[in-house]
Structure 1
Amino acid sequence: MTGGAAVKLPDMAYELMETGYHAMLNYQHRDWGKGFSTVTLQIEPRHLNLAGVLHGGVLSGLLDIVCAQSGIYFPDEQVIRRSVTLSLTTTFTGQCSEGLITACGKVRAQGRRIYSASGEVKDAQGNLLAFGEGTFRYRSQDPIPANK
């Protein structure tokens, strides 16, 4: 599940990501499908904390994104499924200040309205920077996934 070439998202998804937090982070989608998501981020000075290392909020944000996205893939490009984060736990295990980092998320359990996912963020050398898990709820107006 580590990314290769950039993945094509539905056009509506790109429109939603042009502003706000997604635009500020400036990450790239690498792989996305049923039950998984992978994004990469080229570390920039704006991603660093006062100590000059990658801010924990960036790592937590990436984990939230890949874990949430791992459960909202829908094969019809005209449909965007959404979810909200109910809980997210993050454990920080390493530091870096530059380079390309990769975040991967995977669904662990899924029901009609709620799903759980885990994720990890690694640096370019494969060192684990953070891992976490979250619980997410599908928004009620969006399509409900069929289990498995």
Structure 2
Amino acid sequence: MNDARAHGVTGTARLLGYTIDLAPEGATVSMAVTEDHTNRQGNLHGGLIATLLDTAMGATASHLRGDDGRVPFLTLSLTVNFLAPAPRGRVSATGRITGGGHKTVFVEATARAGDGTPVAHAVGTFKRAAG
């Protein structure tokens, strides 16, 4: 993995315009929701919310259990519950490890609109990549 990808600058990050911020407790993925990201109702598309949640959880696992991000974690399972619409503006998702060990990690994340309203919650299982 090249250095840019190790720090969250992937094609997906460039396409959607999100950033990843790392903290001692996990990772937060944030992006500005524009018209390009919306569904027919004018809210952030659910698939993009799922992408932010998945990214926040995977980055959290990699940051905290993958040698500070040098080892990626792959998504084994992902369950998303949508709670409210995410209107245009800012949205962020923050991951938190809930269990697991060195190779398999259980993570949860909540996505919030700019005003703090929870818009979705996810749980996932992530596996340490070989290598």
Q: CA deviation at 1:61?
A: 0.3
Q: What amino acid sits opposite 2:13 in the alignment?
A: H
Structure 2 match to 1:3: none
Structure 1 match to 2:32: 42
Q: Is the 8 A contact 1:17 1:23 kept in 2?
A: no
Question: Structure 1 stretches (4+) deviating beyond 6 angstroms?
Answer: none
Cα distance change, pair 27–118 in 1 and its aligned pair in 2 (3 A) = same
CA distance in 1, matches of 2:71, 2:23: 13
- Higher strand proportion: 2
Q: Is the 8 A contact 1:39 1:103 kept in 2?
A: yes
Residues 101-140 of structure 1 aligned to structure 2 (within 5 Å): 101-140=91-130
Structure 2 match to 1:25: 16
CA distance in 2, matches of 1:37, 1:18: 14
Structure 1 range deviating more: 48-57 or 127-136: 48-57
Normalised to the residue count of structure 2, the TM-score between the two structures is 0.86
Q: CA deviation at 1:25?
A: 1.4
CA distance in 1, matches of 2:125, 2:9: 26
Q: CA deviation at 1:16?
A: 7.2
SS in 1 for 2:62: coil
RMSD: 2.0
Larger Rg: 1
Q: Which runs of 5+ in 2 are unaligned?
A: none
Query: Which of the residues 27, 48, 62 maps onto 1:72?
Result: 62
Q: Which runs of 5+ in 1 are unaligned?
A: 1-10, 142-148
CA distance in 2, matches of 1:29, 1:17: 6
Q: Is the 8 A contact 1:41 1:101 kept in 2?
A: yes
CA distance in 2, matches of 1:92, 1:103: 13
Q: Is the 8 A contact 1:116 1:134 kept in 2?
A: yes
- Higher helix proportion: 2
Structure 1 match to 2:78: 88
Cα distance change, pair 83–131 in 1 and its aligned pair in 2 (3 A) = same
CA distance in 2, matches of 1:20, 1:89: 24
